Amino acid sequence: MLYLAAQFAWFLLAAFVIGLVMGWIGHDGRQAAPWGRALAWLATLFGLGAGLTLMQTVNGAAARWIETALLLVAAYVGGCALAGVMRASARPQTAGQAAAPAMAATAERRVADVDAAQPLAKVEGEDDIPGQRPHGLVAAKADMPDDLKIIKGVGPQNEERLHRLGIWHFAQIAAWTPQNCEWVGSYLAFPGRIEREDWVGQAKALAGKALAGKALAAGPERTQG
């Protein structure tokens, strides 16, 4: 096929350009096009065509036309695939997508704003529990605790036990260190579960959403003022 590729180079280039244009027009840019199926069909056609020519089932001009057609199809599909990738990478982010990293970074910074310095009474056997107990709050800030049950793995009973430790807000859990996770997991009698279910990651995402909601709620007030 190398001989045919050299002989029909301009036709192959034209097929590639046509595929590039059609792929750009037909792709919405939201996600990479499902080229896996097209490539699978192309590979099957290549195998079939190569098999027919290698086994000399088809010879002469017919074999040449089959191989030429396969090369043209390959060039066209390659152009379509490249256009899909280019269109997906060139698609501008929506407001929500662009704001997500900023909200996550803001949530990380606001974790430090949680006043967790107040000492609480020790629980039974606290010093024997591996890890480090996270700092807690005597009460929820502004008497408005977060619904910790939203975190996968935190049920009503676990939420109550977390409250006893002074854990009221997503931002507190988002600030936990690996040592804190080890301590709380052992205290709740399911060591390793916090890490497996990624409570810290869930809490960071929820803290970011909470901050975004507060910002949207405060927006009209700033405008009116």
Residue 196 clears pLDDT 60, i.e. is over it: yes
Cα dist. 41→52, 65, 74, 201, 220 in Å?
16, 18, 11, 41, 55
pLDDT tens digits, one per residue of 126-140: 889 999 999 899 988
C-alpha to C-alpha distance for 158 and 170, rounded to whole angstroms = 14
Residue 192 clears pLDDT 90, i.e. is over it: yes
C-alpha to C-alpha distance for 84 and 100, rounded to whole angstroms = 25
Residue 67 clears pLDDT 60, i.e. is over it: yes
Task: Please give the model's pTM, rounded to 2 decimal places.
Answer: 0.46
- The dihedral sign for the CA sequence 92, 206, 212, 137: negative
pLDDT tens digits, one per residue of 32-41: 444 455 556 6
6 three-state secondary structure: helix
Residue 29 clears pLDDT 70, i.e. is over it: no
pLDDT tens digits, one per residue of 108-124: 555 444 444 456 788 88
